[in-house]
With several copies, the nearest count.
Chain A
Amino acid sequence: MAYDLEFERPLSDIEKQIHGIERKGEKMKAEDRTQVRELRQRLDHRTDEIYRALTPWQRVQVARHKDRPYTHDYIKLMCDDFFELRGDRRHGDDRAILGGIASLDGKTVMILGNQKGRDTKEKVECNFGLAHAEGYRKAQRIMRQAERFHLPVVTLIDISGASPDLEAEQRGIAGAIAENLQVMAVLRTPVLAIVIGEGGSGGALGISVADRILMLEHAIYTVASPEAAASILWRDAAFASSAAEAMKITAPDLLELRLIEEIIPEPRGGAHHDHRAAADAVKAAILRNIGELERLPVEELLEHRYRRYRDIGAYTREPIGAASV
């Protein structure tokens, strides 16, 4: 993967230098090799520097990176076996939400997640990752099946939002999401949600009500896309970066606000620079968290889950702020 984001310009410059030297091939001299080694060290150093100081809006770029591993990539890299469960048994098989029974180091889990397409064909097939009602109903079917067989549920979140189209309304996207919230709240088996890229709005929430929510280091989780928030609150979508900042959508912010439980560190330069390392980290986090959750008796698990959501909210006894009018 090359460095191709705007703020990665210094990194791509270094990369270009490296490639320039390496183009010599057989003709490379000892000092060339030394220079390449030094440039690589500098690249790593600068990458670390830049990624340590990412702004929220830069994180949005990383979370949306076209080469970032998707649910399908994680499943392929993490699972020793996977059988896809398809269809909602009522209308269709939404390719924007994938799920099935999986084996992780011999441990059986139900895994499901949002799928964005990579090439054009795949993008069209899965509606650019915008899930429909039947996707949420398929997810519900898979989760109820997990409950029946006492399998933990792992969900991978990566969606900008549920599909805002006519068909979604006709088939009841709102009701489908709402039902999932209710079903997941009382599902009698551990549920672990991991935001791997974009966690956008109700579309993300519809498969992320969980005992614990983990986020990849550069993932985002937000009530509305920064662009939508900017166009409403700033009356100009160009203020997306301001909205991204103001809404506190990054993993560190949300950990500090205690809205998520854990951050999974990403490989240098983001998950898209090393799918394998990212998948290993996610897999380790899944196995550890599921192991811990499975130790709880189910009634206790459900009481914790209820409290986890019941306690979310920030209020005071007296109104704050003074009217400006």
Chain B
Amino acid sequence: MRDESRPALPVNGQNGLNGLNGRNGAHAEAATAATAATKALPRNLAVKCPNCRELLVGKDWEKNLRVCVRCGYHSRLSARERIELLFDDGSFEAFGSDLHSADPLSFVSRTQPYPAYLADYRARAGMDEAVVVGRAHMDGLPIVAAVMDSNFVGGSMGSVVGERVTQAIERAAEERVPLLIVATSGGARMQEGLFALMQMAKTAAALARLAERGVPFICLLTDPTTGGVWASFAALADVIVAEPGAMVGFAGPRVIEQFMHQRLPKDTATAEFALKHGMIDAVAHRRDVRPTLVRLLRMFGAARPA
């Protein structure tokens, strides 16, 4: 398996504008392994769409950025894959990677202590936490980015996620460089108790200062963005774009159905639902995300300085 002592990042992507096709070697294998959608299938031969069950040619699947050509399903991507997809080749420089969870509650659920649980995830997901943060460029324009990964404890937010995101926000504020967060999260990390909940307040406080500085903040919601992340920094962006079909909600449709004892319309708590109800600005196909963000950065960049 992977060498855990090797920092998960920085990553040097093989491709810029056009995304995920063309990767190779161990790097690509790790990335593929981290994506549930393709885990059980031999790479580059055939992929079964996790949504419509259509059997797709692996090469086409990759070429289409892991979006099903038949039903439009956008499969989940790892942080590493997002970085390759969105940022200029090799432009991503991570910071904040020397932060690790400290288990402040000495948490044990069933028989497993939290540190062992984390170590398992580090091994399985090939990354050290549910977010990576760093500087990057998009079409030459500088940004500060935080990219979440739902493969690591469901993308849940504990102290490290909150701290890294806050560092990214503060960095963006200091350097007056636009902030981009790619969100995906199941919510707060329960194993860190109230420390986890308070990261919502911490990131929101940092964003209040970013806003006072007049630095733009764009958030990309990917499947799923729920709970404490959606109810804190993700919802506070100036511009919010979501991928089609992404689950976007506070409680998530299953919890709502349980609570209400009734079946809900199929689009409940999705990106499209959020758009209809005025919570986000756009639903954009994965292939349009990068050009859209670049356009936004360009227009914000042409604004009169403060």
Contacts and interface: CB of A to CB of B under 8 A. Distances in A.
A182 interface: yes
B34 to A, nearest CB: 15
A87 B299 contact: no
Given A164-B255, A181-B200, A316-B102, A150 B278 contact: no
Interface string B148-168: 000000000001101100100
B205 A182 contact: yes
A171 B188 contact: no
A314 B116 CA distance: 17
A148 B190 contact: no
B305 A324 contact: no
8 contacts: A168-B250, A175-B235, A177-B250, A186-B209, A224-B188, A243-B109, A243-B190, A320-B119
A178 B236 contact: yes
B88 interface: no
Nearest to B296: A83
Contacts of B295: 81, 83
A234 B202 CA distance: 28
B14 to A, nearest CB: 28
Interface stretch (B59-67, B75-83, B223-231): B223-231
Interface of B: 4, 98-105, 107-110, 112-120, 122-124, 128, 159-160, 162-163, 166, 188-202, 204-209, 211-212, 214, 216, 227-228, 230-236, 238-239, 249-251, 255-256, 259-260, 264, 268-269, 273, 275-282, 292, 295-296, 298-300, 302-306
A178 B231 CA distance: 5
B118 to A, nearest CB: 5
A86 B193 contact: no
A324 B116 CA distance: 6
A314 B118 contact: no
Interface of A: 81, 83-93, 101-103, 106-108, 134, 138, 145, 148-151, 162, 164-166, 168-175, 177-179, 181-186, 201-202, 205-206, 209, 221-224, 229, 232-234, 242-243, 246-249, 254, 257, 259, 294, 305-306, 309-310, 312-325
Given A150-B305, A178-B234, 17 more contacts: A83-B295, A108-B299, A169-B249, A175-B279, A179-B235, A205-B201, A222-B193, A223-B188, A224-B188, A246-B107, A246-B109, A309-B201, A316-B102, A319-B122, A320-B103, A321-B116, A325-B124
Ranked nearest first, the 8 interchain pairs of A and B with the lowest CB-CB distance are A321-B115, A87-B278, A181-B204, A185-B205, A164-B251, A314-B104, A313-B159, A323-B119
B109 A93 contact: no
A202 B230 CA distance: 10
A182 B236 contact: yes
A149 B304 CA distance: 8
Contacts, number: 297
Nearest to A136: B231
B195 A259 contact: yes
B236 A179 contact: yes
Given A178-B236, A233-B109, A315-B159, A320 B200 contact: no
Given A314-B159, A319-B118, A202 B227 contact: yes
A107 B281 CA distance: 22
Given A202-B197, A223-B196, A317 B100 contact: yes
Contact of B228 (A148, A202, A321): A202
Nearest to A164: B251
A309 B202 contact: yes
A259 B195 CA distance: 8
B288 to A, nearest CB: 12
Given A85-B239, A165-B260, A170-B277, A182 B194 contact: no
Contact of A149 (B114, B160, B279, B300): B300
A243 to B, nearest CB: 8
A306 B201 CA distance: 10
Nearest to B206: A310
Given A145-B238, A173-B231, A325-B123, A92 B277 contact: yes
A168 B197 CA distance: 20
B277 A172 contact: yes
A185 B184 CA distance: 24
A314 B192 contact: yes
Given A181-B201, A319-B128, A166 B195 contact: no
Contacts of A229: 190
Contacts of B214: 148-150
Given A84-B281, A86-B282, A178-B233, A164 B195 contact: no
B100 A312 contact: no
A259 B119 contact: no
B250 A87 contact: no
Contact of A166 (B190, B211, B268): B268
Nearest to B5: A319
Contacts of A170: 277
A323 B122 contact: yes
A151 B256 CA distance: 38
Given A205-B197, A306-B205, A234 B236 contact: no
A137 to B, nearest CB: 8
A306 B190 CA distance: 24
